[in-house]
Chains A and B, each alone.
Chain A
Amino acid sequence: MDARMRKFLALFVACALVASFAVGCSSTEDEPADTTTDEPMTEVRAAMVTDTGGLGDKSFNDLAYAGLQMAEQEYGTEIKALASNEIADYEPNIDQLASAGYDVIFTVGFLMTDTSMLKAPEYPDVAFGGIDQFFDAPPENLAGLLFKENEGAYLAGVLAGLATLDETLDDRINADNTIAFIGGMDIPPVEKFEVGFIAGARSVNPDVKVISLYAGSFDDQAKGKELALASIEQGADIVFAAAGQAGIGAVTACLEQGALFIGVDADQYETVDEAKPIILTSAIKRVDQAVFQVVGQVVEGTFTGGITEFGLAQDGVGLAPYHDFEDKISQDIKDAVDKASADVIDGTVTVPATRDAL
């Protein structure tokens, strides 16, 4: 065998090693695959552009994609998700989907507000759904889909405010009467989580101390962990994180330091395996429902732009099941949460949405 031959053989083996490594990695990754049904019942094609959190964030973007998948099941819609690696990807991603003939495009996340306003008029035949986006005067083909995060967080606050007093609930509860909120970026939907959480906790436990910290991003796990550690250090025994991937860092901190956790957006008991032993509940936000409903409107030809708000009454927000803590949380606490929920729905209680209103 001549030398060059041997070299190429060695190179080939190296490549094969890299490839097998890649295969090994890919099997653990759960990138949702597009599966188009054989006989589409509708011609409507629906797509979404993720924010920089991308698919696999186990909350926001994944939920929107779950909504698309529900539409695929229900209507046979062809679906597609384009991930954004960076902010510069937002506009070109929308351009590409619109020119590829998608009929409805979801832009996921508050940070894409400006982009949606800019792009919707450019493609008047495409329906746009902006998740978490508020518009003063949106064009007819743009719908802003907002959530009353404060209402779901209010229930989480009631739960945490009572649980932190109940040392019989779990040996991780301490006597400090302190709980913590970890936010991603300080933007309105996250502020609503924070304010609702504080209001809920104070409504049942006026002396409770709520530590509020912001990571400044939704993807910095190390920062999320650091902030959670700092708040646990100061006595917090329950940490509520509305911080995307940074919240996963908070989970790690709670596991290490023996604190309890409340998840966000999705039922994170189901989506974040390692959180199972510490997660009381999650303040869920049914982004999937909102996406599914809008696709339905487009399919049925009833789509109109404008602002739609999803609150407790519309089943757009709420609390996830208690799962492993079902038996540990006392009936009194559960009753208090249910009562708070009923009060919010019938309007007895109005949950503040901004820090100024708190």
Chain B
Amino acid sequence: MRNPITSVRLKSVLEQLATPFVSVLLAFAIGSIVIWAVGYDPILAWTSLLKGAFGDARRLGDTMLRATPLIFTGLAVAYGFRAGLFNIGAEGQLFLGGLSAAWLGLLVVDLPRGIGIAIMLVAGALAGAAWAFIPALLKARVGAHEVITTMMFTFIGRYLVSYLVTGPLKAEGQIPQTVKLAPETMIPKFSETFGIDFGRAHWGFVIGIAVCVLMWWILKYTTTGYEARAVGFNQWAAETGGVSVSRTIIKSLCISGALAGLAGVVEVIGVQGRLFDQFSSGFGFTGIAVALLARNNPLGVIAAAILFGALSAGAGTMQLEADVPQKVIFIIQALVIFFVAADQIAKWVLSPFKRKGAENA
């Protein structure tokens, strides 16, 4: 016998998955036309993109490497969105997380590796949360819009780091960057653990997935998560229902900041081993797109981040083998975002199938 409730639930999950999926397909379809129209071979482009993203262990590693910071920043933005907060300042929080790791990494060198890494992760999360705290307070107390304040704090954070790496924290030598951390303080690489050449991919990827599952659970099953969702859904109703809106705003934005801070930590102690001006290529901003594609679902963030990571990892091979300029990847990313944002288009494409489904039922 069919359980009607399960079936309804399954159907809604499928529906939720269908729209992003169709959006991605549409983006690739239009991307193909663009590639074809400027005189390249779209089939060759996509096959070389796939090869570059998943072709062998090393390429797969590159995809995971690039997805790692996006998992954290995507999750940060998604969590904020669930509480009705648009944290576009993830980039700034990421810089602060990176800063704390670059500094602490020099101090924890005598501790056991696992403990040192744990300390740096916690401290980086706190640094990110602290960077989000003032915008959160301003939002909760005087209603200053977080889009403005978190963005402004991104500038402050970026230039603070820029100043520190060219001045007080600069390592010996000509390049503006901090001292390189000892390898034994860094997050282990997959190639160290498994003995297979996964390039530079590291365990931060797994930590990211674990944190996504954790946040999914927090949103679904804890009071904190319930309050965040309630405020995001309707803050007046939440207030009436006994939820402290201002406290929830502060808490949610700080959690979002903490997650973005983690992105900075894993980049510093997973990949670069040090902090420098351009250590993030806009991960905080790409995180917004990841969250959008994931429809703010923490589990969806994993898939969306891997997609964006694969696009960026495969771009080089696509350029090498199909001659398609790497910048085309930006067009694909933009198209994905466009179709997700304008989800009515995807729904409209899906509607004939849906109607058929309804007729069958």
Which A residues are within 8 Å of any B CB, using their own CB?
A: 3-4, 7, 11, 15-16, 18-20, 22-23, 26, 31, 33-34, 52, 54, 80, 82-89, 91-93, 95-97, 100, 110-111, 113-114, 134, 185-188, 216-217
**Bound CA–CA A92/B201 (angstroms):** 12
Residues of chain A within 8 A (CB-CB) of B144 are: none
Residues of chain A within 8 A (CB-CB) of B66 are: 88
- A100-B320 contact in complex given A23-B37, A83-B327, A186-B166, C-beta closer than 8 Å: yes
Q: Is the CB of A88 within 8 A of B65?
A: yes
> Which of A7, A83, A87, A188 is close to B279, meaning CB atoms less than 8 Å apart?
A87
Question: In B315-361, which residues have CB < 8 Å from any A CB?
Answer: 315-317, 319-320, 323, 325-327, 329-330, 348-349, 352
The verdict on B223 contacting chain A, using a C-beta distance below 8 Å, is no
Residues of chain A within 8 A (CB-CB) of B330 are: 85
Chain A interface, >50% SS class:
helix
Question: In B276-290, which residues have CB < 8 Å from any A CB?
Answer: 277-279, 281
**Bound CA–CA A19/B40 (angstroms):** 13
Q: Is the CB of B30 within 8 A of A15?
A: yes
Q: Size class of B's contact patch?
A: 35 or more
Pairs A-B, 8 closest by C-beta atoms: A86-B281, A19-B37, A22-B34, A26-B38, A19-B33, A188-B174, A83-B326, A23-B37
Residues of chain B within 8 A (CB-CB) of A84 are: 326
Residues of chain A within 8 A (CB-CB) of B251 are: none
Residues of chain B within 8 A (CB-CB) of A83 are: 319, 325-327
Residues of chain B within 8 A (CB-CB) of A11 are: 349
Chain B interface, >50% SS class:
helix
Q: Is the CB of A22 within 8 A of B352?
A: no
Nearest CB of chain A from residue B170's CB, rounded to whole Å: 11
Residues of chain B within 8 A (CB-CB) of A15 are: 29-30, 33
A-contact bits for B51-66, CB 8 A (1 contact / 0 none): 0100000100010011
Nearest CB of chain A from residue B62's CB, rounded to whole Å: 5
**Bound CA–CA A358/B212 (angstroms):** 54
Nearest chain B residue, comparing its CB with the CB of A86: B281
Residues of chain B within 8 A (CB-CB) of A111 are: 175, 278
Q: Is the CB of A82 within 8 A of B319?
A: yes
> Which of A18, A34, A85 is close to B315, meaning CB atoms less than 8 Å apart?
A85
- A89-B37 contact in complex given A7-B348, A83-B327, C-beta closer than 8 Å: no
**Bound CA–CA A178/B65 (angstroms):** 49
Residues of chain A within 8 A (CB-CB) of B278 are: 52, 87, 111, 217
**Bound CA–CA A97/B326 (angstroms):** 15
**Bound CA–CA A18/B345 (angstroms):** 15
